[in-house]
Amino acid sequence: MSEAAIQAGCRFFAGYPITPQNEVPEYMSRRMPEVGGVFVQAESELAAISMIFGASATGTRCMTSSSSPGISLKQEGISYIAAGELPCVIANMQRGGPGLGNIRASQADYYQAVKGGGHGDYRLIVLAPATLPELYKLTQNAFDYADYYRIPVMILGDGILAQMAEPVELTPYKPILKIPKKDYILDGCQGREPRVIKTLMLNPTDALVTHNINMQKKHEKITADLQLVENYMTEDAEVVIAAYGMTARVAKGAIQIARDKGLKVGLIRPITVWPFPDKAMMEVAKTVRKFLVVEMSNGQFIDDVKLAIQCSKPVEFQGIGGGWYPSVEGILEKIEEIYK
Amino acid sequence: MPKLQDLAKKDSAFSSGHRMCAGCPVPIFTKMLTRVTDYDIVVGSATGCLEVASSIFPYSAWKVPWIHTAFENCSAMMSGVEAFDKVRRKKNNTEKKIKCVATGGDGGTYDIGIQSLSAAMERGHDLLYICYDNGAYMNTGIQRSGATPLGAATTTTPAGSVIGGKQQQRKDLTRIMIAHHIPYVAQASIHNPVDLSDKIKKGLEVDGPAFINILCPCIPGWRIAPDMAVESARQGVDTCYWPLYEVEQQKFKINYMPKEKLPVKDWLFTQGRFRHLKDDKWSQILVDFQARVDEQWDWLLARHAESE
């Protein structure tokens, strides 16, 4: 992920120590000076995200990473960055919570990531990779989405993804979007009017309302443009598992065994969890009998599945928060129980 | 002050069987907390080595009431406990205090926790804050902190061919705490139990806020042998990198005068984190390092002389 960011032109990284994502800042501390970029280890998570606000305001591609308790500390800054419509990439390698929790993988920050997290009416584009090659690709794309829409993009991974090893081809960065000229950045105003980046808009009937309307229009455009999803054996499936990230990988193992046993099971895996792939979900709901949601949290992701299919089919659930991992056997057992 | 032999007979606040690294000197001070005083105590810890390794569920190494919340707010949390004790005494019509102790590593004290520490001291809570300074975020895998010395190699300030470890000098937190004009501020080292236990006793029993900064060598972080923590701390003090002194009501007292002030490189070269500095190309780092140590020591000698 760190190398993908470097390849995509990220030249500013600010971070703070927290397990299980320390390898990201550690890599950046070595690599950034080699490419003429800047690595800063901040004195706190709030300082790190605020440095991102500053770096993004200069037009620099920038990134920070953390894990659940650290992401909670960053929420103030994330809300301000969203309000300032500044592009950046934020990685959250989730661990068990609430509180300091533990350092096992988790998906319990789902609500925080996709429903806002900080105060105010804002959204992040949230990408949920399941493999390291996908993490590499999505990290590069994340910088394009961020610049194109002027929005913070979150990469929502987990402790397993952060700590595992897997072969990855380090392909050069290719832009997937035509980035408009950054005409909002603070890069010296000689010869033109000075620009202002701020998030305080005191006039209640004009400035802030207009700003919110514009942001909501942007959110609508992103929802229409960007719904990434993987369908796996869903064409003839009677039961479809809905899962994202690492959980979906475990589910695939269970599905293969279920298929060998003659059970028609498939998987739908959102790659963007905001915007949520409503259309693809609804399409699957037309033909399937039941859904099974598997998540490493106690029923957060399931809400979006039910909303997406407008509760048109029964949705079964398997999930616990706090660092519980799904097993192939456990999912298979659940499939057999609900398949009848 | 009581003798060490007598102290050792008293119950320790901290049990054996904790999960600190082999050779870690941090438990030396935690064991003293109940031995030096007759007060009942409550201990709060910021996130860090001590917190994690003393409290892995379902076990606890603490034999006194102990509380942990997050990384940045230990002093705020203990301010709440201390404020409760005021109310408790009033309600129960008693004068007998419960003494509050907050502990944090250098990450949780110099960096993310300095705001809540400073405010607790300024508000004047009857609270002893003990920082065990091992010079980096050791618990998460040796990342640099505001306490990491110049030139030290950490995982976020790696020593390479162009950059020779950490590029900044450490901040002098003890001096920042002196500037709070609180009743008691001290700098101590884990290698000197007589001086350390005296200071913990004073800090605990003084009426009002107190701060003690303890030098605690880290076996994996400093890259020293597991039996070298105490010796390394002693060398740090003998080079005057870490003077032992205390400040009571703005009166300075140096508690230990080295017979011979050793050059700081003699100490640095015993640690793997400074190994790269043996290369002549980093000689300026050694010059700058020594210059800061000299400047701090001279400043302290002058304050000590003024106070006599």
The confidence score (pLDDT) of residue B194 equals: 96
The answer as to whether A195 is a domain residue is no
Sorted by sequence, the CB contacts under 8 Å of residue A109 that are 6+ apart come out as: A68, A71, A92, A94, A97, A156
Which of B179, B184, B163 has the alpha carbon at shortest distance from B285? B163
Interface of B with A in 140-159 (CB under 8 A): 140-141, 143-144, 146, 155-158
Give the sign of the dihedral formed by CA A21, CA B75, CA B13, CA B256.
Answer: positive
Helices (runs of H) and strands (runs of E) counted in chain B? 12, 8
Same domain, residue pair A157 and A70: yes
The confidence score (pLDDT) of residue A206 equals: 77
Q: Sheet harboring B251-254: ordered strands across? A: B66-68, B40-45, B98-105, B127-133, B210-215, B184-189, B245-248, B251-254
CATH of residue A44: 3.40.50.970
Q: Which of B146, B156, B163 sits opposite A43 (nearest CB)?
A: B146
Name chain B contacts of A73, Cβ cutoff 8 Å.
Answer: 72
The confidence score (pLDDT) of residue A275 equals: 97
Q: Which of A22, A30, A44 sits opposite B111 (nearest CB)?
A: A44
Q: Is A43 close to B158, i.e. CB distance below 8 A?
A: no
Work out the minimum CA distance from B111 to partner chain A, whole angstroms. 5
Torsion angle of C-alpha atoms B177, B178, B184, B188, degrees rounded to 10: 70
Work out the minimum CA distance from B165 to partner chain A, whole angstroms. 11
- Is pLDDT above 80 for A204? no
Convert the pLDDT of each residue in A245-304 to its tens digit.
999 999 999 999 999 999 999 999 999 999 999 999 999 999 999 999 999 999 999 999
| Calpha distance B143→A19 (Å, rounded) | 11
Tell whether B70 lies on the interface with A, counting CB pairs under 8 A.
Answer: yes
Name chain A contacts of B112, Cβ cutoff 8 Å.
Answer: 16, 43-45
Give the sign of the dihedral formed by CA B250, CA B251, CA B252, CA B256.
Answer: negative
The whole-number average pLDDT for the span A172-185 is 96
Supply the pTM of this predicted model.
0.94
Same domain, residue pair A234 and A157: no
- Is pLDDT above 90 for B242? yes
Q: Which domain holds residue A98?
A: 2-163
Token digits of residue B267:
């100490």
Work out the minimum CA distance from B162 to partner chain A, whole angstroms. 9
Same domain, residue pair A159 and A258: no
Amino acid at B232: S
Convert the pLDDT of each residue in B255-296 to its tens digit.
999 999 999 999 999 999 999 999 999 999 999 999 999 999
Same domain, residue pair A157 and A236: no
CATH of residue A284: 3.40.50.920
Using CA coordinates, name the residue in chain B closest to A13.
B156
Contact at 8 Å (CB) between A177 and A151?
no
Same domain, residue pair A122 and A31: yes
Which of B173, B199, B178 has the alpha carbon at shortest distance from B188? B199
Instruction: Count CB atoms within 10 A of the CB of residue A261.
Output: 11
Token digits of residue A128:
């949920």
Using CA coordinates, name the residue in chain B closest to A69.
B70
The answer as to whether A295 is a domain residue is yes
Same domain, residue pair A63 and A151: yes
The answer as to whether A168 is a domain residue is no
Of the three residues A136, A163, A190, the one that is the final residue of a domain is A163
Same domain, residue pair A108 and A234: no
Apex B212 CA angle, B63 and B259, nearest 5: 120
Helix (H, G, I), strand (E, B), or coil: what is residue A95?
A: strand
- Is pLDDT above 80 for A205? no
| Calpha distance B178→B181 (Å, rounded) | 6
Complex ipTM value: 0.91
Tell me the CA end-to-end span of chain B in Å, nearest whole number.
22
Work out the minimum CA distance from A269 to partner chain B, whole angstroms. 32
Tell whether A13 lies on the interface with B, counting CB pairs under 8 A.
Answer: no
Same domain, residue pair A156 and A10: yes
| Calpha distance B124→B194 (Å, rounded) | 28
What phi, psi does B284 have (nearest 5°)? -65, -35
Same domain, residue pair A35 and A128: yes
Which of B124, B83, B99, B62 has the alpha carbon at shortest distance from B204? B99
Tell whether B162 lies on the interface with A, counting CB pairs under 8 A.
Answer: yes
Of the three residues A120, A146, A163, the one that is the final residue of a domain is A163
Which of A299, A308, A251, A249 has the alpha carbon at shortest distance from A274? A308
Tell whether B106 lies on the interface with A, counting CB pairs under 8 A.
Answer: no
Which of B100, B163, B148, B183 has the alpha carbon at shortest distance from A31? B163
The answer as to whether A278 is a domain residue is yes
H-run or E-run covering A155: strand A152-158
The confidence score (pLDDT) of residue B61 equals: 97
What phi, psi does B132 have (nearest 5°)? -95, 105
Of the three residues A163, A187, A218, the one that is the final residue of a domain is A163
Same domain, residue pair A119 and A241: no
Tell whether B137 lies on the interface with A, counting CB pairs under 8 A.
Answer: yes
